[in-house]
Every structure is written in structure tokens, then in C-alpha cells.
Amino acid sequence: MPVDANNETMTQIGIVGAGAGGAAATFVLDEALPDADVTVLEKSGGLCGRAATRRHEEVTYDYGANYVKDDDERVVELLTEQLDSDGLVDIPEPIYTFDEEGVVAPGREADDRKWTYRQGLTQIAKRLFGRTEATVHRRTRVESLRREDGTWSAVDTDGTEWGPFDVLVMNPPAPQTAALLQGADWESPVKEPLVEAVGSVEYRSIWTAVLGYEFELDVPYYGLVNPGKDHEVGWISREECKPGHVPDGESLLVVQASGPWSSAHYDDDPAENVAALADHAADIIDDGRLRSPAWSDHQGWRYALPEEGVETGPLDSAEQEGLYCLGDWVTGEARVHAALANGLDVGERIVNSA
């Protein structure tokens, strides 16, 4: 076990998943427990999970979460005061609605702030981890977990063993966390109720098409939402309303299909899905040019949005054994600010129990 400069044993903390929640917890732990050693294992090549950003030539686009709201005071303080706020930008244009027939109308109650960064939403996790001494291992997918002699260890898909950890934090969406816990080599009365509670959180899938155009759109809104959930499209937004994302003279639509459409077409030919969603966008925005994007991208989000929060009793019991779960599914609010707030909370609970 590693020791610090005074030859004291350091608390070893393992975090599975570098989403917004995992990043916020790491930030708290690193600040409050300078003697702890925090190791983050992330399966993908990027940080910030479903708050995801890609680039195409001069274009930057958020293809998962669209923006972060200012609904939680601590998260506002985190983003505007504690972290470097350079490049944090607000989307000024409003969100309109469309109905079952695709008819657009003004009128969704405005979010006070719709924040992203000029470089995209992944900046949240990049800036949080950047303030810590934590080691973040990307492209490291945890495949199994073990509890032995009061500590946790994890094995990734390459067979590398990580740990032992005094505390293990689980950030993946509930179904992925449940699968890892189900297979864990862990003998405890806590395990079964925990697996059952985590495994029963239902999710909505979202299939996203990203459509690039070499012309500008003249419409008064940033986003269009279908509040009745009765259209095959759930959401359309314009990345050009985000400062720094799209060069002048171009447009970029992010089109998210409804839950039922996404589930039904999840494994279909992506080119056909993109074409179908471009047609819908053209009809809803009432501009035939939108049927033929100059370029496109797409992403299927199988576990896009938890439909509810987890039953918390079994999570509290697991904390007695050094196992903490965090993320939007723990709060029941499928939002970046909720995942961040939960990460801050769980980080503080770990600090208080250390």
C-alpha cells in the first residue's frame, strides 16, 4: 500500500467512470483529503460521459447533453467561481415547442441559464480533473469487482487489476453499475438488495443525428422541444447559437429522436436513421434544404436518461462497506447539474467518513 512523505498509509479511492458526477466527487475528495490517492478508471477515450463534445473541422458540438442549467446553487458556484470560467457561455436564444403535427410555437418556460463552454460541455470534467492530483486512466473498462479483506479491487477488460481501494465509487449508468455489482465477488447481505434496487432503474434511449449545413438558418429559437412526447422527434437544437461552436455561414442541428423511435430504430442502418431525422427536421423547421446535410454524425445513447431515481436504502447500506454510487440516476433527475450536485454530495460523505 502506498505511503505518504510521513510514511503514513494513504487512503486509496477508486472511481469507476469519469462522468460529471465522478469528476465532481474527485474534485471534492482531492481538495478535502490531500493524503488520499484517487484513481479514476474510464472506459471511453473522452471525459464527462453523456455530457459529450466532438469536433468536425472548425465546428464544435455537444452531441449528448445540450447545456447545463443554473438550478443548483453549489453547481453555479462551482462553475462560475471555483473553476476557471473562461469560455463559459450562455445560449441567449429561447426554446420553442412543437406538437404532434410538428407545428412550432413559442412558449416553453425559459431556463434562466443554458450554459456550455466555447470548447464544449466536456470542459466541465476536464476542468474538475485538471484541478486535482487524481490519475485518470482512459480506455479502461472495468469488467469485474472484488471485495476482499475489507478492500475493493477492480479488473479491466485487459486483465489489469486495480486497487486495493479502501473506497470504491461507481459512476456508470444504473444498468451498467448493476451488472458490475451482480458479478462482483462480494459476500455480503447488502449485495442482493443493492443489485435489485440499482437494476430496477428504467432508462430511456435516445438516438441522436447531428446535421451540418453550409448555410445559415433564420429562425428565432435555439431549441425546439416536443413537450407532449407525441412526435417521433423529441428535441432539435442549433449549435450555432452557442458562442464559438459553428463558423459564420454554417448551421448545425442536433436532432434527438423520441424514446419509442430511438428504441425501435436503435440498431437500424445509421444512414437511414440520419435521413429520416433530417426529413423530420426539414418538416418541423419548414425548410426543405434541411433534408440534405453537407455532413452528419450520429450517436445511439442506450442509457440516455434515467426515468426515475434509485431506492436509496440499499445504497446507504453499501456505503458502510466502502461502496458509493453516484450520478443522475441516484438523484432521479437526468441532468448534468444534478449529476454534479450528487458528485459533490457523495464526495463530502466520503470525506466525512474518512
Footprint of ligand FAD (CB under 6 A): 16-22, 41-44, 49-51, 64-69, 141-142, 171-173, 176, 206, 208, 256, 301, 304-305, 327-328, 334-337, 339
| Nearer to ligand FAD among residue 50 and residue 191 (C-beta) | 50
Smallest gap from residue 198 Cβ to ligand FAD (A): 13
**Least spacing, CB of residue 344 vs ligand FAD, in Å:** 12
Distance in Å, CB of 235 to ligand FAD, minimum = 7
Nearer to ligand FAD, 173 or 212 (CB): 173
Are 51 and 65 spatial neighbours (Cβ–Cβ below 8 Å)?
yes
Burial degree of 248 (CB within 10 A; 0-12, 13-18, 19+): exposed
In this structure, are residues 354 and 50 in contact, taking their beta carbons and an 8 Å threshold?
Answer: no
Shortest spacing between CB 44 and ligand FAD, in angstroms: 4
Nearer to ligand FAD, 9 or 183 (CB): 183
Nearer to ligand FAD, 203 or 213 (CB): 203
Question: What proportions of the chain, in percent to the nearest 5, are helix, strand and coil?
Answer: 30, 30, 40
Of the pair 9, 85, the CB lying nearest ligand FAD is at 85
Taking the least distance from each CB to ligand FAD, the nearer of 132 and 287 is 132
Between residues 287 and 348, which has the closer beta carbon with respect to ligand FAD? 348
Q: Which is nearer to ligand FAD, 191 or 337 (CB)?
A: 337
Question: For residue 254, what are the β-bridge partners?
Answer: 210, 237
Q: Smallest distance from the beta carbon of 1 to ligand FAD, in angstroms? A: 23
DSSP H helices, the chain, are 20-32, 73-77, 123-130, 174-182, 191-199, 259-265, 270-285, 313-319, 328-331, 336-353
Smallest distance, Å, CB 335 to ligand FAD? 3
How far is 301 from 159, CA to CA, in rounded Å? Answer: 27
Smallest separation, CB 218 to ligand FAD (Å): 24
From the CB of residue 132, how many other CB atoms can be counted at a distance below 10 Å?
17
The answer to whether 319 touches 353, Cβ cutoff 8 Å, is yes
CA triplet 70, 71, 74: central angle to 5 degrees? 80
**For ligand FAD, which is the closer residue by CB, 143 or 319?**
143
Distance CA 237, CA 208 (A): 11
Nearest residue to 155 (alpha-carbon basis) of 41, 56, 79: 41
CB of 125 to ligand FAD, least distance (A): 8
Instruction: Determine the Cα–Cα distance for residues 312 and 185; give it in Å rounded to an integer.
Output: 22
What order of strands is seen across the sheet that includes strand 37-41?
A: 135-137, 37-41, 12-16, 167-170, 323-325
Q: Which three cell numbers stand for residue 240?
A: 450555432
To ligand FAD, the closest distance from the beta carbon of 206 in angstroms equals: 4
